[in-house]
Amino acid sequence: MTSPPNPPPPNPPSAQPRYPVRVDLPAHANGGPNGDTPDYPGDPISEPYATLTAVAPAPELPSVPMTAERLPRWAGWAVPLGFTLGGLLALPSGISPGLVLPVVMIVSAAFIYLWSRSVEGARYALDRLVTAIVTSAFLIAMIPLVSVTWTVVDRGTGRFDWDFFSESMRGIVGAGGGGYHAITGTLIVTALACVISIPIGLLCAIYLVEYGKDNRLSRWLTFFVDVMAGIPSIVAGLFAYALFVHISGPGVRMGIVGAVALSVLMIPVLVRATVEMLKIVPNELREASLALGVPTWRTIAKIVIPTSLGGIAASVTLAVARIIGETAPLLITLGITTGTNFNPFSERMATLPVFAYTQNQTPGIARNGMGPPGFDRAWTAALILIMIVMALNLLGRLIARLFAPKTGR
Amino acid sequence: MAKRIDVDQLNIYYKDFLAVEDVSMNIEARSVTAFIGPSGCGKSTLLRSLNRMHEVIPGARVEGKVVIDGQDLYAPNVDPVGVRRSVGMVFQKPNPFPTMSIRENVAAGLKLNGTKLRKATIDELVERSLVGANLWNEVKDRLDKPGAGLSGGQQQRLCIARAIAVQPDVLLMDEPCSALDPISTLAVEELISELRQNYTIVIVTHNMQQAARVSDRCAFFNIAGTGKPGKLIEMGPTQKIFSTPSVKATEDYISGRFG
């Protein structure tokens, strides 16, 4: 008998043990009075027991109740609301709102924490405290967004009229004129940047995920894409300018130069986002296709890309949104002009960000009790830019939904 | 159709790790061969090396020979894409293409291979394959619905239909029923017994009863310990492996004493 018996099951103390319970036997139980000679030599049953010690019954654990007292349901919103009202009452005394807001947030969080702790216990109190912190952080993060949107809409609607969409600035000195040339310029340059970047970015991402598979080249590529993502936009503009100086001579200003500068900024964003999208395509789909005898490139073109098309479209729109508002590189490479130019391969072009910038720099002279007309045009240009980005985002979501893999019956 | 496979002294590696050591076996044409053994013993690895799917994993490589009807699959002039066309594979998890309808899923192999076929031909092949996979009656009214909308068992039969649509010589199945309920398992097993008449089938399974039910011959693999390579312990007619195996480890495994 070499192996010990099965360990006893964790019986409740009152239950009858189903297996032999390990017990301490007196020293003579398995030996003579001196413990040297066993009473029953080679007894197969008593032998192993003698060497084992008793196992105490498991200690009682405190019982956990399944019900607990909770705060009233309105506590979550009523407490911050009450303190906000208190803060509003304090405002007329001349205290800065920038001081009242954090005080209201901190006092509400502290109040709900202490109240909850006294009623609900430590776990719920911590939950409520973290909820308060997260909500406060969200509200603080919303401040700049709401503020920018409000200001741009408020001041941009002044010139948001038909003229702005149909007239350029050619021959305009005072009020009037519009951003038609800048809108077309932005659309042309951005479209050209997409034509350059999307094939390069997508193919690069496809190489990294589908072919590179962490080999040396793909590791270097990933590294340089990361470096590229950190290039300041003004440097990208200088690069594109310097490149075209070699081709067309000094002082070059063309749409294509700006498109190249924007591509330098767009490609890394596109590659990183597309790589993530391709990575989430399940490997089983690639294997299923390969096992059917489908060549790798067709597997990519017909299985991997369609499966991730929604995500890729979203990546493209995000990358476009990233570059469409760039000002500095376009200021260097395109300059500004007052007339409409549809040809990106010759002469200067106006774009919305640069238009807004120059209108703000040289707003003209205030007349007839109106402010300088350039300010209004600059705000409207900013409003249109925001609307284009928003439209692109919505378009990206729409495409993502249209091309999402079908699962319905 | 239906070719025999001879494996000769095959070693399979993941980078430097020897996963399967020195396997030699003969797989008969028009029969079902089952690979059984504990997890991690290299059954799936060996199966994947039979149609060169193994090398899809970075760093994976193979030494030795796999001969299908006189042609060594690992000869330098062999195109893995061509190998996979004649040796089809069904995976553990049903994996219909999510962007495609049921019809497109079955036709995927035909279309993506680049073979130019008339639409009528493709429709006929789709119907044949679905009938062959015992799925036609369930889906004939909704061929244009997404394949991902079928139940798990139907999806797996769809994947089998997709695999047989390209008319391979050999069908490899990697635990095809492990994600299915007993009724779907029964449907797939019946399908395997029907397909046996036209195909050479190799199936990896953890289910002893399934191996006993569907296979003609059975190969038992074992592993000496973690980090050791898997080895072929014995192979023979299923009847013999399950009644009078010649190796003690086989008997222990089959009777459930370990593994």
Distance CA B98, CA B148 (A): 6
Task: Pick B84's closest partner by Cβ from A214, A282, A293.
Answer: A293
Touching check for A234 and chain B: CB below 8 Å?
A: no
Contact: B91, A292; criterion CB under 8 Å: no
Contact: B146, A405; criterion CB under 8 Å: yes
Going from N- to C-terminal start, the domains of chain A cover 75-156, 163-363+372-402
User: How many contacts does A have with B, using Cβ atoms within 8 A?
Assistant: 97
Tokens in use for A223?
Answer: 């590294």
Touching check for B179 and chain A: CB below 8 Å?
A: no
Q: Show pLDDT as tens, one digit a residue, over chain A (409 residues).
A: 444 555 554 444 444 545 555 555 554 444 444 545 545 445 445 445 545 566 778 888 888 888 888 888 888 889 989 999 988 888 888 888 888 888 999 999 999 999 999 998 899 999 999 999 999 999 999 999 999 999 999 999 888 888 889 888 888 887 888 889 999 999 999 999 999 999 999 999 999 999 988 789 999 999 999 999 999 999 999 999 999 999 988 888 899 999 999 999 999 999 999 999 999 999 999 999 999 989 999 999 989 998 898 889 888 988 998 899 899 999 989 888 888 888 888 888 999 999 999 999 988 888 777 788 889 899 999 999 999 989 988 888 888 788 776 655 4
Contact: A213, B58; criterion CB under 8 Å: yes
**Structural class in CATH, domain A163-363+372-402:** mainly alpha
Asked whether the beta carbons of B35 and B210 are under 8 A apart, the reply is no
Touching check for A302 and chain B: CB below 8 Å?
A: yes
Task: Pick A287's closest partner by Cβ from B53, B58, B112.
Answer: B53
ipTM for this prediction:
0.88
Q: Which residue of chain A is at minimal alpha-carbon distance from B82?
A: A293
* Contacts with A, B 90-129, CB within 8 Å: 91, 93, 95, 97-99, 101, 108-109, 111-114
Task: Pick B81's closest partner by Cβ from A213, A287, A295.
Answer: A295
Q: Which residues contact A352 (CB under 8 A, 6 or more apart)?
A: A179, A182, A183, A185, A186, A325, A381, A382, A384, A385, A388
Tokens in use for B203?
Answer: 């199936």
Give SS3 for B67: strand
A408 min Cα distance to partner chain B (Å)? 5
Give SS3 for B42: coil
Residue B149 per-residue DSSP state: G
- Matching residue, tokens 């270097």: A220
Task: Pick A407's closest partner by Cβ from B83, B149, B166.
Answer: B149
